[in-house]
Amino acid sequence: MKVTKPLFDSIGKFVDYYSRFNPSPLSIKKFIDFGRKKCEKTSFVFLRKELAVRLANIMQEINLLPENLLRMPSVALVQSWYRSSFEEILKFGKADENEKKVLEDFCEKLIRIRNRHSGVVQTMANGVLELKETHRVEQHTEHSIQYFLNRFYMSRISIRMLINQHALLFGSDMPSHPRHIGCVDPNCDVSAVIRDAFENAKFLCDQYYLASPGLRLEQFNTPQPGAPISVVYVPSHLYHILFELFKNAMRAVVENYPEAEALPPINVLLVNGNEDITIKMSDRGGGIKRSLSHLLFQYMYSTAPRPSVSGISSAPLAGYGYGLPLSRLYARYFHGDLIVNSYEGYGTDALVYLKVLSSEANELLPVFNKTSTKHYKAVIGSHDWSSSIVSPPSNAQGKTSTEQPVEPVGIGN
């Protein structure tokens, strides 16, 4: 196998070179069509450049983060992972795609990269926690971090999608169902995924609270009345979204009715339209104040107790405040969406939208360019609308207190 020589000395030049290319978004239809043809050489030639491009684009944005955040140990660790993975992909740049050993080594390397990055979400979350616990974070820094995390985690979703698809088609990984094409289900039973996510969230809720609300599911198939609702989709992505929503809705309902003998059920409405499949999840968890609603999709906002930097939580990411933001990214990855409407004193509705046509379900990918760079350099000025918000009182040290109490919010974290 012929590979390029080690690039440790000139890695920056290659990152700069590949970041000048825009990522090539794929639709679910393209994933399906290619998966059925199943040409490993074609996949290898595409991925060795596309993965380098996607890695380089987001690596450039990592470099634009505030200096004090880049100095945090967890962030430095994440940077080292991306650098190592980028170097390993580059080594296949001149490799001969006709050599079987090259293709085998490439697949093994992708799996190793995927395993290396398995803890990226929590490690980056720890990096932000390290910053907040050691530095005062200004408003424009908060804005930069929020903007970055949305793009960073979306990039990670897309990279894992490419790697998983290749590993399932050509590696030793086995699809979770015989009809799946890689990780895509050409006939994903949406109600089955809903029930699966509900049962697993119910199991956790019963373990912790010794009680859980039930499920009431209604379906309307507009194009084909009475027929089961299915879609070409990635079941694991849909499951992730629904599991997070059920888990948080159940927590809010149980805590909102601590003495109730019978808890109000979670109502789910599943509708198949001509353009979108809509999943509406409604709970009676008490809702959230409108003044706090803008925080629902902010990273680090959570109604659960926040873990320490070194703490180990019994539930993955519990208390980090990443449940809703990440779920919305999964929904938006193929141009769907996640919207939350809350009714203070009553409950919360969450609406998940999925594209019906696989040809319209295109990847939504971050692109590194001058426009994205401005978001890291811009300083947020004063508001250009009048405000009735009263400035919070100062604390004993003379510092302004901006902390607000948190409470169960239903579908939220």
Active centre residues (catalytic): 240, 244, 247-248
Cβ pair 307, 126 in contact under 8 A:
no
Cα-only R_g, the chain: 23
Question: Per residue in 266-275, is it b (16+ CB within 10 Å) or e — as a string?
Answer: bbbbbebeee
Residue where the block lists tokens 């119910």: 202
SS3 282: strand
At residue 348, the 3 state secondary structure works out as strand
C-beta separation of 213 from 201 below 8 A: no
The DSSP code for 261 is: S
> Which 3 state secondary structure label does DSSP give 267?
strand
Beta strands at 337-343 and 266-272: parallel, antiparallel or unpaired: unpaired
Which residues touch 199 (CB under 8 Å, ≥6 apart)? none
Going 326 to 328 to 330 to 332, the CA torsion angle's sign is: negative
Q: Are 188 and 233 in contact (CB under 8 A)?
A: yes
Burial group, residue 213, by CB count within 10 angstroms (0-12, 13-18, 19+): buried
In angstroms, the CA 110 to CA 52 distance is 12
Q: Which residues contact 345 (CB under 8 A, 6 or more apart)?
A: 286, 287
Q: Report the candidate in 196, 193, 197, 177 with the shortest Cα–Cα distance to residue 185.
A: 177
How far is the C-alpha of 166 from the C-alpha of 98, rounded, in Å?
17
